[in-house]
Structure 1
Amino acid sequence: MTGQNTPPSRRTAIIATVVVVLLIAGVLLVRLSRDTAPVNDRSATSSGAEAPRPTVAAGAAGPAGNSARVPVGFSADEPGAVAAATAYATASQRWLYFTDEEIEAAIAEIATPVAAPRLTADVVADVAMAREQLAQSSGRIWWLVRPLASRIDDSRDTEARVSVWTVTILSAASVAAPQSEFLTVTLDLSWVDGDWRVDGVRDTPGPTPITGPQDQPWDAEPFDRALDGFIRMDGEPVS
């Protein structure tokens, strides 16, 4: 085995903490608070101007397609709510590679009309800071957000609450030592305009497993070299 695991420098670890605050603390979604009114009536908050959502096939949960480069079109039942929550809880995977205008369009597709303006403002601000930090990296940036498990906490005709256990991996040479963050992201969903939409998001740390007995800390450069030739499972390029 030739992997060169070397402990990250103190400076790298300190910088990594800054980036984690910007990127991982809430996976760029959970700043949305519940002080906005929840959506209880789909007709009262329907935008009325959107094209019809793609229709999910019978017996499928979705997504049925993409709009503004995010998954949309989920079934109006618990499996559909879980599928939507899973997609939305890991949406921050995409934000880093979007322009501000693309973020605004994407959030308009997945959030309720009440929640979208504040969510957009917070995500755009966070991504701008993250881009500035990560632009200083001298190598490739590994930024992965993945779902691990889900749970339905509450489900009604037009509302659902789903928790998704996620892991985020970040590594950027000269900016962030390789690190992972486990979060449980809880999403309040409302059925609006023929689809499940985010009405509120919050997160709690963990549960977090310890590393394996043979694992050692890696610095960003050998971490990246060890992944040379690997392609992300979603097909997105490593920046």
Structure 2
Amino acid sequence: MSLGDEHQATEGYGGTGQTRTRLPEGEGGGPYGGARRTGRSSSRSLVTVVGVVVLLIAAIAFANRGGDGSASGTPEADSPKAAATAPSGEKPVGTKTGGIPSGFAHDRQGAESAAANYAVALGSDGMFNKTTRHPIVDTIYTPAAADGLQSALDAAYSADFLSKLGLDSNGRPPQGSTFISRTIPVGTKVEQYSESSAKVAVWYMGLIGMAGEKSTDPVSTTWKTWTFDLQWTDGDWKIASDTQKDGPAPVPGDDVAAGSDEISKAVEEYGGFTYAR
């Protein structure tokens, strides 16, 4: 499971699927600019809260898992074309707000970059602590959506919920253990696009679990599709609402699972990416 499993999101525009290439942190730029979309804030906020709750259901399922946890799902009929994975030559964003990439281009590729990077932020372990969660939500959601989400998320990330994941009330793992929650985008698809709004689906693999000798929930993978409804707000793409669904999940390989020490070390040594076309 991944944060993506704790925060769902989906949207897409345009009828043509496109996949982004990932570039290491620090490479590139690409500012936003453009008009703003007027939305139905109350209904949008409600939809957003529902989307996040759906994401949390996945996290709760992980905390209480007992089955095989297999994900199901079929690719959309409007799948990306073979050439969609080719890089565009455009550089990724060069600015960050609160550690999260920002200033995305006011075009389709900018919307895809925003969706991929927002999925990473929502799937991070920072979502499990109130002091880091609030800035994340304020940064990537529209003001109306963020206002409706904060209290709902605070209630969802209760001490009881966190304890089921092996964390204390502040989202910290036991001494000697490493809690891992990461979202790794595999591709993006624009389902709808206009200058003021975009719907972008992010297909991703999530990592979630506790690495440690006494862990009863070792780090495992999950496959999801997160769809984001984005609005052009204050010169950047922001999430107005999001949804999530299982799959498509590939057939598991024959890789030998790494030990908890190796996984913990990998998480510490390997940083993430800024995602862009």
State the alpha-carbon separation in 2 of the partners of residues 166 and 116 from structure 1: 23
Q: Which has the larger radius of gyration?
A: 1
Structure 2 counterparts to residues 141-220 of structure 1, below 5 A: 141-172=179-210, 173=212, 174-212=215-253, 214-215=254-255, 218=257
1:42-93 Cα offsets, whole Å, 9 max, x none, are 8x9xxxxxxxxxxxxxx84643311122221111111100000001112123
Please state whether the residue corresponding to 2:6 is helix, strand or coil: coil
Higher RCO (Cα < 8 Å, 6 or more apart): 2
State the alpha-carbon separation in 1 of the partners of residues 126 and 116 from structure 2: 18
Tell me which residue corresponds to 1:134.
166
Contact 1:31/1:119 (<8 A) preserved:
no
Point out where structure 2 has 5 or more consecutive residues left out of the alignment.
11-35, 42-88, 168-172
Point out where structure 1 has 5 or more consecutive residues left out of the alignment.
1-19, 33-38, 45-58
Return the TM-score normalized by structure 2: 0.58
Contact 2:142/2:231 (<8 A) preserved:
yes
Amino acid paired to 2:131: E
Tell me which residue corresponds to 1:40.
37
Q: 1:31 to 1:194 in 2, by over 3 A?
A: closer
Residue of structure 1 aligned with 2:270, choices 222, 232, 235: 232
Tell me which residue corresponds to 2:259.
223
CA RMSD in angstroms, aligned pairs only: 3.1
Tell me which residue corresponds to 2:143.
113
Return the TM-score normalized by structure 1: 0.67
State the alpha-carbon separation in 2 of the partners of residues 175 and 31 from structure 1: 29
Residue of structure 2 aligned with 1:88, choices 118, 126, 141: 118
Please state whether the residue corresponding to 2:123 is helix, strand or coil: helix
State the alpha-carbon separation in 2 of the partners of residues 96 and 128 from structure 1: 15
1:104-123 Cα offsets, whole Å, 9 max, x none, are 22211211122112222333
Cα offset, 1:211, TM superposition = 1.1
* Residue correspondences, number: 188
State the alpha-carbon separation in 2 of the partners of residues 104 and 228 from structure 1: 26
**How many percent identity over aligned positions?**
22
Residue of structure 2 aligned with 1:104, choices 129, 134, 156: 134
Cα offset, 1:193, TM superposition = 0.5
